[in-house]
Amino acid sequence: MRLEYKDFERILNIGIRMSTERNRNRLLASILENGMEITHCDASTLYLYENDQLVFKIMKTLSLGISQGADGTPIENMPPVAMTEANVCAYTAIHREIINIPDVYNSDRFDFSGPKKYDALTGYHTQSLLVIPLENNEGELLGVLQLINAIDEQGNVIPFDKQYEIIIRSLGSMAAIELTNLSYVEELKAQLRSFVEAFATAVDERTPYNGTHTRKVAEYACILAEYIARKHASGECEEDFDEERKDKLFLAAQLHDIGKMIIPLRIMNRATRLDTDMERVESRFELLAAYYEIDRLNGRITEEEYHARTAELEEELQFIHEVDKVGFLPDDMLQHVKDLAARSYTKNDGTVVPYLTEWEINCLSIRKGTLTETDRKQMESHAAMTRKILDKVRFQHNYEMVPKWAADHHEYLDGTGYPNGINGDEISIETRILTVTDIYDAMTSVDRPYKKPMPKEKAFAILRSMAEEGKVELRLVNWLEEALAEKEKDK
């Protein structure tokens, strides 16, 4: 056989294709398929060297219509090949030597009982073999490629031409180097993921009231991204999310609340308006009751006045408890708080004891939620702090947008969000997804101390209302609802 220019051109193109492949399973399949194409053979087996043995990774036989393992699915009922010199593949791996067998049935160099047994079971006839070690530029063995039954132009099985040996070995070396590079990339990605998971765990473990938030937002974001990918495949959406893009979104979701590490727990864990400060109020009201009793005993007030004032203290304390836990503070209750703020007791020495401190008044005057305006601003600072922390981390260029997506998850399309008030096209679809899923989990979460979980129907109604106001993207709200309904239906 004489190699022509087109053969070399094809080999170079194969090398180029392999150098740009980033999926491990597709790269492994490419090694086998390109080896078969170059040598015009009928069958091939790719083994990977793992745990001091050769593991069946991909098997393909054109004449029998057999193809196994190309998608990464393990090949069953095929035990690993032990590293013994009696086996041709193991010998190739041990000695890093190309073995070219013209006719298996007329060779006693190796133990070919395995191929002969396979032939007896399937009716196949294994004849010629070309076995090539796959080793990288550092001399590390990655596996073995076994090519079976070279075919001539008339369809006859012939021995593998000697010229193929150096070509396939070169192909194997290129493939092995790309596999090694891909392993390095996967290792770096795994390291990045472990770093991200460690930070996410640290944030969620700070407080029992945030224990599942990061995980749930990441889960919802990926569910929505997968739904968008299906929409794209059916021509219903211009956006698409392949595995790499979804992986970046997942990392951003895991990191979106990392800035909460600097938020004081007294704010993070505030279950009610007063929270633990209620104990101080209760103690003060007990003290006020004692002062009035002393006044009664000393004759400064009458028995009737004493009972009236202590009864009033009980009513006001009951009111404070009610205000402490109410979801929204109406005008009449707010006015009552203001009236109560003016109440005080004056001791004999002229010392004034207010019923409520200024801090307690501020807390009880909160219209909605449990945070004062100062506390809310401090809580909101977690978004800017997320970016500040992540700016200290070196993300490779493929992941350079992850910190921005994570830090922008409180930005709204109409520019009313924080920390930077960006709007419209400045907000990527990844950030828009995080915004919608973050709000959804915040409303439906069962582990928030300051509110009960909201039914999902009401949560989506609120999200649609926000979309009508121009804050979030309506189609993402609808798609998240549809995607979650699908998940629920599949259970």
Domain 5-183: assigned CATH number: 3.30.450.40
Strands of 152-270, DSSP E:
157-158
Paired strand residues for 66: 61
Paired strand residues for 133: 144
Give dist(CA 277, CA 202) in Å, integer: 27
Polymer length in residues for the chain: 491
Residue given tokens 């649609």 in the structure block: 464
116 Cβ contact list (under 8 Å, min separation 6): 104, 105, 126
The DSSP secondary-structure symbol of 366 reads: -
Give dist(CA 12, CA 20) in Å, integer: 13
Q: Boundaries of CATH 3.30.450.40 in the chain?
A: 5-183
Radius of gyration of the chain (CA): 36
Do residues 114 and 165 make contact, with C-beta atoms less than 8 angstroms apart?
no
Q: How many CA atoms lie within 13 A of 227 on its CB side?
A: 20
DSSP string, 182-208: HHHHHHHHHHHHHHHHHHHHHHHHT-G
Domain 206-265+377-490: assigned CATH number: 1.10.3210.10
Do residues 78 and 84 make contact, with C-beta atoms less than 8 angstroms apart?
no
Give dist(CA 45, CA 41) in Å, integer: 12
Do residues 28 and 143 make contact, with C-beta atoms less than 8 angstroms apart?
no
Query: Alpha helices, DSSP H only, in 298-393?
Result: 303-325, 331-341, 358-364, 373-390
**pLDDT in single tens digits along all 491 residues of the chain:** 555 656 666 666 666 666 666 677 777 788 788 889 888 999 999 998 989 999 999 999 999 999 999 888 889 888 999 999 999 999 999 999 999 999 999 999 999 998 898 899 889 999 999 999 988 777 888 889 999 999 999 999 999 988 888 777 777 777 777 777 777 777 777 877 888 888 888 887 777 666 688 889 999 999 999 999 999 999 998 999 998 899 999 999 999 999 998 889 888 888 899 999 999 999 999 999 999 999 999 999 999 999 999 999 999 999 999 999 998 999 999 999 999 999 999 998 889 999 999 999 999 999 988 999 999 999 999 999 999 999 988 888 888 999 999 999 999 999 999 999 999 999 999 999 999 999 999 999 876 665 678 899 999 999 999 999 999 999 999 999 999 999 888 76
Task: Give the tokens for residue 72.
Answer: 């990464």
Give dist(CA 46, CA 69) in Å, integer: 10
Please report, for residues 18, 70, 181, the alpha-carbon distance to residue 137 in angstroms, rounded to integers and kept in the order given: 16, 25, 11
Residue given tokens 């596999």 in the structure block: 179
DSSP string, 109-158: SS--HHHHHHHHHH------EEEEEEE-TT--EEEEEEEEEEE-TTS-EE
Task: Give the tokens for residue 414.
Answer: 């109409």
CB atoms within 10 A of CB 196: 23
Please report, for residues 85, 140, 143, 313, 323, the alpha-carbon distance to residue 365 in angstroms, rounded to integers and kept in the order given: 83, 70, 71, 19, 9
Give dist(CA 114, CA 130) in Å, integer: 16
Task: Give the tokens for residue 119.
Answer: 């032939």
The DSSP secondary-structure symbol of 262 reads: G
Give dist(CA 219, CA 411) in Å, integer: 20
Q: Boundaries of CATH 1.10.3210.10 in the chain?
A: 206-265+377-490
Q: Is the pTM of this model over 0.75?
A: no
Give dist(CA 259, CA 262) in Å, integer: 6
